[in-house]
Amino acid sequence: MSDTTKRTRETPNSSTDPDGPAQAQYGGDQVKAAALQKDVGLFSGICLIVGTMIGSGIFISPKAVLSGTGAVGPCLSVWAACGVLATLGALCYAELGTMITKSGGEYPYLMEGFGSLVAFLYSWTTVIVLKPSSFAIIALSFAEYAAVPFYPGCPPPAVIIKCQAAASILLITLVNSLSVKLASYVQIFFTVAKLLIILIIVIAGMVLLAQGNTENLTNAFEGASPSFGTIGLAFYNGLWAYDGWNQLNFITEELKNPYRNLPLAIIIGIPLVSVCYILVNIAYFTAMTPIELLQSPAVAVTFGDRVLYPVSWVVPLFVVFSTFGAANGSCFTAGRLTYVAGREGHMVKILSYISLRHCTPSPAIIFNGILSIIYIMPADINMLINYFSFAQWTFYGLTVLALIVMRFTRKELRRPVKVPILLAAVVFLVSCYLVLAPIIEQPELEYLYCAIFIFSGLIFYFLFVHYKWSWTRRVMRPVTKYLQLLMEVVPPEKTE
């Protein structure tokens, strides 16, 4: 937006050639384009998938799946089915990600399949609500477990939890703004940590099984009485724990050799998480009856107190590690969606700018962090997440439908990965079921409020995107120029 600023702004780390594009400089003679760099390899990609999927859900609230199914057998079946569904959905995304190698998750696929309007509604809902509120709730989970040891015998004060959550959001935002490699190293460390505690829980469960603690796993389907709606709610809660299977599609432009590493990371990462989840749930049932599991406020902690004493303290410690790693992954990918939406003109232009020093989308990352801090202020945002989950699965379904549509409308596109169209149809139908089942089972006014919010994006689309009123550009131009100078950011340089 401000080419003059871009060309004449002099910093110790920037190229000042008036006839050339802005470039980021990294000491000595090493100069890189002011664009997102391909710094994410296969191992880092697997860690991003695994580290974002495994958050607090598997340690705190697997009881929600048991509550919806009514018995151990159906509960484990739902966990396995959720893993299969996440894998099938991710394979569809692997085709999309290798066919349209743009960052931003579902956004570029909806743009190519259905046009600008649907893509805008997705970015409006996800950038403003879904991504920052998800980041906030993970940060609150981290803060709660981090504060518990300092308040024995009583729950930590809400203000302490919220201050710690805000501090963690600021720290993660800073890390992701400074360096892609640093954020990747943080993700790798915490992914290894959470896999370690899962391994400890699984081994402890295997020892209990070997000792004959199989009462809860015999006649596992006895007493099950699930309905159409309760199974849908059980899937919702299970898939919430699996959420993150599409995270690598948000950073496709930063992935080394995406045609190879994107599908390979998906094939390795998601089945690994699925096996971990099933084995952890089996381990829980070796130490707790279904009733005890439903009454536990934090299942993994209860398991640790019963099985790992006197070193049971390792469980809440590693839950802290797990939630921090999941928050880091959420921040990493959310910034890319905001960046791409700004680049396409669906968000203010400054959000599409790149840090001249660090080659990160720092304005987009900071914007997501600010919204996340705002979302930790209300008393309870769990309800917000629950009611907007149907919106998330609406967009998942539309994205898979876009894959099917583009099989007929965009036959010329190269498809290094090509899934059977029947598989895509199954994922689309399951998405429709997951959207409709909870609404049919428990119709509530809040779902209508969510729908109103989503479609309120039409007002902003037609006012600021479709008609492009000139006065908005006149207002934003000096604001953008000031923020550009303050943050030392520039429009991304095209590298293709």
SS (HEC) of the chain: CCHHHHHHCCCCCECCCCCCCCEEECCCCCEEECCCCCCECHHHHHHHHHHHHCCCHHHHCCHHHHHHHCCHHHHHHHHHHHHHHHHHHHHHHHHHHHHCCCCCCHHHHHHHHHCHHHHHHHHHHHHHHHHHHHHHHHHHHHHHHHHHHHCCCCCCCHHHHHHHHHHHHHHHHHHHHHCHHHHHHHHHHHHHHHHHHHHHHHHHHHHHHHCCCCHHHCCCCCCCCCCHHHHHHHHHHHHHHHCCCCHHHHHHHHECCHHHHHHHHHHHHHHHHHHHHHHHHHHHHHHCCHHHHHHCCCHHHHHHHHHCCCCCCHHHHHHHHHHHHHHHHHHHHHHHHHHHHHHCCCCCHHHHCEECCCCCCHHHHHHHHHHHHHHCCCCCCHHHHHHHHHHHHHHHHHHHHHHHHHHHHCCCCCCCCCCCHHHHHHHHHHHHHHHHHHHHHCCCHHHHHHHHHHHHHHHHHHHHHHCCCHHHHHHHHHHHHHHHHHHCEECCCCCC
State the average pLDDT over residues 468-476: 78
pLDDT band of 340, cuts 50, 70, 90: very high
- Domains of the chain: residue spans and CATH: 42-490 (1.20.1740.10)
Asked if residue 9 has pLDDT above 50, the reply is no
In the predicted model, what is the mean pLDDT of the chain?
Answer: 84
Pairing of strands 31-33, 23-25: antiparallel
pLDDT band of 2, cuts 50, 70, 90: very low
83 vs 58, more confident: 83
Point out the least confidently predicted range of 123-137, 187-201, 463-477. 463-477
Asked if residue 15 has pLDDT above 60, the reply is no
pLDDT band of 26, cuts 50, 70, 90: very low
0.95 exceeded by the pTM? Answer: no
